[in-house]
Amino acid sequence: MSRTTITLTPDAESLVRKAMRERGLTFKEAVNAAIIEGLTSTARRERVETPTFDLGRARLPLERALALAGELEDEELLRKRELGK
């Protein structure tokens, strides 16, 4: 075991103190746990892949997509207003 001096930022110290309170740890235990958890968690992360799908060609001109979305939203708002919602 080695002994060293570190300077913590206020945010880091706050997190260490919070871990001390929540887990009932000493300062030394909280710092060591944070280092070990932080440096080993990246090795445990699994790669996440999001599936993609070919939707084919656009049926409408994409340059009009925002205008069309606005028109559809306006129609829905009017429909809800007529229903009293």
In-domain check, residue 68 = no
Print the domain residue range for 24.
Answer: 10-44
DSSP of 6-53, one letter per residue? ----HHHHHHHHHHHHHHT--HHHHHHHHHHHHHHHHHHPPP------
In-domain check, residue 23 = yes
In-domain check, residue 14 = yes
In-domain check, residue 74 = no
In-domain check, residue 84 = no
Among 27, 29, 33, smallest CA distance to 13 is for 27
What does the block give as tokens for 23?
A: 């887990």
What does the block give as tokens for 60?
A: 């409408």
pTM for the whole thing?
A: 0.48
| Residues 54-63 pLDDT 10s | 999 888 788 8
Residue 51 banded pLDDT, cuts 50, 70, 90: very high
What total number of domains does the chain contain? 1
**Within its chain, how far is the Cα of 43 from the centroid?**
19
In-domain check, residue 61 = no
Q: Is the pLDDT score of 43 beyond 60?
A: no
In-domain check, residue 53 = no
Average pLDDT value for the chain: 89
Question: What is the structure's pLDDT at 42?
Answer: 63
In-domain check, residue 82 = no
Residue 45 banded pLDDT, cuts 50, 70, 90: low
